[in-house]
Amino acid sequence: DQQVKQNSPSLSVQEGRISILNCDYTNSMFDYFLWYKKYPAEGPTFLISISSIKDKNEDGRFTVFLNKSAKHLSLHIVPSQPGDSAVYFCAASEGNDMRFGAGTRLTVKP
Amino acid sequence: NAGVTQTPKFRVLKTGQSMTLLCAQDMNHEYMYWYRQDPGMGLRLIHYSVGEGTTAKGEVPDGYNVSRLKKQNFLLGLESAAPSQTSVYFCASSSSLTWSEAFFGQGTRLTVV
């Protein structure tokens, strides 16, 4: 029972363009949403988060959008850089319970 | 500043053997977690701890035990390893104020043959 789903296993974009990573969830009780970034042979690192009371949070090139009615969130990276190439995990939490999606591998081509 | 350190980084076990994975953090975090990552499944929480001496079950606790005798350490034990426990294991820690913004270790790749 995957409560957090990332339906695109991979995404390839050109350097300088926008990357949009998507995530859907099923549990309406989730109240905090996060994105983690993972490079090979390293642990995930926290990237950006958003509370359920907001619909947008921006941090430099990274913006997370939350659509609660659709149970959908997305991560926008503008402009994309080759160093952004990594696996991105979406996560959602309720209390002490945090669930992760399966990840999307982003490749940014020079 | 080491952050979160996992020991060992790689291990091969035979079915039925036991082992302990060690996680150490130097950030004085109250919360610590053990996750496993499997292809197509994302990270799944095995056990977690909200403070020294406390532990709780996560999403997939069966076949594992944990202990948090010291605040900085969180041990994950496999009493009788099974091939289904072949996975990459990640430890993480966080403060109680921003508990979900966790810091992860580099991972332990465990193969059970």
**pLDDT tens digits, one per residue of A10-47:** 999 999 999 999 999 999 999 999 999 999 989 999 99
Cβ contact, residue pair B100, A4, below 8 Å? no
Q: What pLDDT was estimated at residue B42? A: 85
Closest residue of chain B to A32, computed from CA coordinates: B100
* Three-state SS annotation for A29-64: CCCEEEEEEECCCCCCEEEEEEECCCCEEEECCEEE
Q: What pLDDT was estimated at residue A95? A: 78
> What confidence category does residue B1 fall into, taking pLDDT thresholds of 50, 70 and 90?
low
Helix (H) / strand (E) element for B31: namely: strand B31-38
**pLDDT tens digits, one per residue of B62-103:** 999 999 999 999 999 999 999 999 999 999 999 876 767 889
Which residues of B fall below an 8 Å CB-CB distance to A? 4, 35, 40-45, 48, 50, 56, 58-59, 90, 92, 99-107
Q: What is the mean pLDDT of chain B?
A: 93
Residue B46 has pLDDT above 90, yes or no: yes
